[in-house]
């Protein structure tokens, strides 16, 4: 008796929350679900009240944006960026496809692009990297004991008179900091004054390692350098900072920060994290294979096509593995004919001493080593050819450009494929709807989301919103 009543309650509950007829799900249940779908966490009662009212009034997009960008008194620490977007893209930054890897320049850049409504189809080739905005201790920053104004800063006293409250000023023994506005670094007159919680010992230590100070949070990131270490991003993660905070992560150029040569820059494909995951060791095929997997949603096994001519297959691939050429023809060639043709794009890159390096005009030795078959292809430049425009992989929807030099033209070619856009829609749908795309119903919805995303200038934030609203109708 008890059991069947429980079962009955369960059925009733599931009809209320997952029923077929959307009208049956209350605005409150939808509000809860929307919040969970975008953040992975549950709303507070107050947040639920706000969202319920918006949904009841038909303002669905507004409700979603409130959750995403913490408007209308919603305070979730940036869970949309810190949890949902980060968990979706972190697997793109390592070979295991793990969500557990730390924040890095690639994931931070993607998060920034989503937050700032950038045209996402350009992320594979634009010069961009997101990092924390701050002031280095040896840069435009001075710390000093309360009211002992440094003579090296003109108008120090006026600045502090302007910026500090009476309460700030009253605190004894505190250090004060005058710093240049990190969001306006080129205007040295744009200075501000604030009280810091750090002691003199802390501040001296930060000065010695030239740490990065975040004035709006009175926090420190241990390094401002991002080319040969991931510590900058790990420090952001370990302090649990809100990645949706527009004063924290900001766009900058990869030039100097990561690369000495502008020609080496190609969006997230030339970030340090991309190099650390895929250019390190190996033969520079992984950056292509994993671009296919993560950006076009195609595993190498699916791309395997043995009808493609093998003139680009390199010398390290055995033409008669295990003593039989049929294995080569029926197996190896399926991936290597196409992949080796594309991997020329990365010929001038290597990952050495924790850094993604690029030597203009110099083919990395790993491209041509291990000569097993002397007549195989020898890489002599960063020219690449896309042989997958023919055969089964033509269906990826390539644009006209099928040859190029270097990574940027390779990234542009990927950006113009139909597969890139539908792959983004599929991954977003799976993330916010908490299920894999399997049924034709799912596929139809992903196709609709893809079309809307394309019509909307590739706005990834809107793609997340549209996908989460679609799932509300389940």
d(CA 375, CA 14): 64
> Minimal CA–CA distance to 298: which of 186, 423, 192, 206?
423
Residue whose CB is less far from ligand HEC, 285 or 426? 285
CA distance 77 to 53: 22
Residue 224 or 283 with smaller CB distance to ligand HEC: 283
Token reading at 187: 């205007």
User: CB of 412: closest distance to ligand HEC in angstroms?
Assistant: 22
Q: Which of 58, 145, 240, 282 binds ligand HEC (CB under 6 A)?
A: 282
Residue 369 interacts with ligand HEC (CB under 6 A)? no
The answer to whether the CB of 402 falls within 8 A of the CB of 410 is no
Would you say 303 and 338 are in contact if contact means Cβ atoms under 8 Å apart?
A: yes
Q: How far is 377 from 283, CA to CA, in rounded Å?
A: 13
Work out how close the CB of 294 gets to ligand HEC at its nearest, in angstroms, rounded to a whole number: 13
Our finding on whether 321 is near ligand HEC (CB under 6 A) is yes
> With binding defined as CB under 6 A, does residue 332 bind ligand HEC?
yes
Q: Which of 43, 112, 334, 411 binds ligand HEC (CB under 6 A)?
A: 334
Specify whether the CB–CB gap between 257 and 212 falls below 8 A. no
Cβ-count burial 370-382 (b if 16+ within 10 Å, e if not): eeeeeebbebeeb
By beta-carbon proximity to ligand HEC, the closer residue of 71 and 331 is: 331
Pairing between strand 219-221 and 383-385?
A: unpaired
Beta-carbon neighbour count of residue 269 at 10 Å? 26
**Which CB atom, from 68 or from 367, has the smaller least distance to ligand HEC?**
367
CA pair distance 268, 124, nearest whole angstrom: 6
Comparing CA positions, the residue from 122, 106, 91, 93 lying closest to residue 249 is 106
- In whole angstroms, the minimum distance from the beta carbon of 317 to ligand HEC comes to 5
Part in contact with ligand HEC (CB under 6 A); list of ranges 36-44, 183-191, 282-290, 422-430: 282-290
In the complex, the smallest distance separating the C-beta of residue 325 from ligand HEC, rounded to whole angstroms, is 11
Quick one: which H or E segment has residue 152?
A: none
Minimum separation from the CB atom of position 300 to ligand HEC (A): 4
Q: Measured from the CB atom, is 178 or 333 closer to ligand HEC?
A: 333
Shortest Å, Cβ 289 to ligand HEC: 4
How many binding residues for ligand HEC (CB under 6 A)? 18
Looking at beta carbons only, is 191 or 319 nearer to ligand HEC? 319
Q: Pull the structure tokens for residue 454.
A: 């394309």
Is residue 401 helix, strand or coil?
A: coil
Q: Identify the three-state secondary structure at position 283.
A: coil
- Please state the closest distance from residue 37 (CB atom) to ligand HEC, in A: 34
Question: In whole angstroms, how large is the CA radius of gyration of the chain?
Answer: 26
Separation between Cα atoms, residue 284 and residue 277, nearest integer Å: 11
- Beta bridge mates, 358: 349
Least distance between ligand HEC and beta carbon 177 (Å): 47
Q: Out of 18, 162, 331, 395, which residue is the one contacting ligand HEC (CB under 6 A)?
A: 331
Q: Is 318 in the site for ligand HEC (CB under 6 A)?
A: yes
93 binds ligand HEC (CB under 6 A): no
CB of 319 to ligand HEC, least distance (A): 8
Residue from the set 327, 383, 385, 417 that interacts with ligand HEC by CB under 6 A: 327
The nearest distance, CB 299 to ligand HEC, in angstroms, is: 8
Residue closer to ligand HEC by CB (options 301, 375) is: 301
Binding mask 292-311 for ligand HEC (x = CB under 6 A): --------xx--x-------
C-alpha to C-alpha distances, 136 to 28, 189, 212, 222, 239, nearest whole angstrom: 47, 17, 4, 10, 18
Describe the strand order of the beta sheet including 191-196 as a list of residue ranges.
141-145, 175-180, 191-196
- Using CB under 6 A, list all residues that contact ligand HEC: 282-283, 285-286, 289, 300-301, 304, 316-318, 321, 327, 331-332, 334-336
């Amino acid at each position: 008796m008890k059991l069947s009543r429980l079962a009955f309650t369960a059925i009733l509950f599931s009809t209320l929350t997952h029923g077929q007829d959307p009208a049956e799900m209350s605005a409150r249940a939808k509000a809860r679900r929307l919040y969970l779908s975008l953040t992975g966490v549950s709303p507070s009662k107050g947040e639920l009240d706000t969202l319920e009212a918006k949904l009841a009034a038909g303002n669905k997009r507004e409700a979603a944006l409130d959750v995403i960008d913490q408007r209308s008194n919603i305070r979730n620490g940036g869970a949309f960026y810190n949890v949902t977007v980060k968990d979706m893209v972190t697997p793109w930054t390592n070979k295991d496809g793990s969500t557990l890897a730390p924040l890095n320049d690639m994931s931070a850049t993607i998060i920034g692009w989503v937050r700032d409504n950038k045209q996402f189809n350009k992320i594979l080739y634009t010069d961009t990297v997101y990092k924390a905005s701050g002031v280095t201790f040896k840069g435009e920053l001075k710390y000093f004991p309360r009211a002992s104004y440094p003579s090296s800063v003109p108008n120090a006293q006026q600045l502090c008179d302007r910026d500090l409250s009476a309460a700030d000023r009253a605190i004894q023994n505190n250090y004060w900091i005058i710093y240049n506005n990190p969001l306006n670094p080129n205007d040295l007159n744009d200075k501000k004054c604030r009280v810091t919680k750090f002691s003199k010992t802390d501040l001296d230590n930060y000065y010695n390692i030239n740490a990065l100070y975040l004035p709006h949070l009175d926090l420190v990131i241990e390094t401002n350098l991002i080319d040969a270490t991931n510590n900058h991003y790990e420090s952001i993660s370990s302090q649990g900072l809100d990645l949706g905070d527009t004063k924290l992560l900001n766009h900058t150029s990869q030039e100097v920060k990561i690369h000495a040569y502008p020609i080496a820059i190609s969006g997230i494909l030339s970030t340090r994290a991309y190099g650390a995951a895929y250019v390190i060791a190996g033969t520079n095929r992984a950056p292509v294979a994993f671009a296919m997997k993560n950006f076009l949603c195609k595993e190498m096994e699916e791309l395997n096509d043995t009808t493609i001519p093998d003139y680009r297959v390199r010398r390290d691939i055995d033409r008669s593995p295990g003593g039989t050429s049929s294995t080569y023809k029926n197996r190896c060639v399926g991936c290597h004919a196409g992949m080796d043709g594309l991997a020329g794009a990365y010929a001038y890159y290597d990952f050495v001493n924790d850094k993604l390096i690029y030597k203009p005009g110099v083919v990395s030795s790993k491209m041509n080593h291990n000569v097993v078959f002397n007549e195989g292809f020898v890489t002599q430049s960063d020219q690449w050819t896309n042989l997958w425009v023919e055969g089964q992989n033509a269906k990826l929807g390539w644009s006209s450009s099928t040859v190029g030099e270097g990574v940027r033209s390779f990234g542009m070619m990927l950006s113009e494929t139909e597969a890139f856009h539908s792959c983004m829609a599929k991954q977003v749908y799976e993330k916010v709807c908490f299920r894999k795309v399997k049924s034709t119903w799912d596929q139809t919805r992903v196709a609709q989301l893809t079309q809307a995303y394309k019509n909307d200038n590739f706005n990834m934030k809107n793609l997340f919103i549209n996908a989460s609203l679609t799932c509300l109708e389940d």
